[in-house]
Amino acid sequence: MNKEKIILISVIVVIILTIGAVVFQRTAPGKYDGFAACLKEKNVTFFGAFWCSHCQSQKKLFGNSAKRLPYVECSTPDRKNQTQICKDENIKSYPTWRFADGSEQTGEVFLENLAEKSGCELPASK
């Protein structure tokens, strides 16, 4: 085999391994999957915007489980307007957590606070 073929095969292998690692990381179960599912079951809703740094920080607390959150995107793609659902729900700031009883908490909320307010159990710390 010549040198160019070896380099090409090596590059292809690295690309395949990288893609596989990214796909696995995105589909791997998260520590808070059950907690996120419980929030949804208890009619807790997380309203946010993709450009909101506090919303991103809030999602990071959930790690791989963030994809399971009962999340509603409030920003239009151009960042200039709010989606109709968030207008209808009178969402004024991000993040906003709304609970089944109609109460809200705005800003980044600790997971322990979400657990207490929702009645959902956090997984034990290791």
As for how many domains the chain has, the answer is 2
* Whether residue 46 sits in one domain with residue 87: yes
Instruction: Name, in order, each residue with C-beta under 8 angstroms of 26's C-beta and a sequence gap of 6 or more.
Output: 64, 67
pTM score of the predicted model: 0.76
Strand partners, 82: 75
Q: What is the CATH number of the domain that holds 104?
A: 3.40.30.10
pLDDT in tens, 69-108: 999 999 999 999 999 999 999 999 999 999 999 999 999 9
The yes-or-no verdict on residue 65 having pLDDT over 80 is yes
Q: Which residues span the domain enclosing 8?
A: 1-30
Considering 1-10, 15-24, 41-50, the range whose residues carry the highest mean pLDDT is 41-50
pLDDT at 20: 59
- Asked if residue 125 is part of any domain, the answer here is no
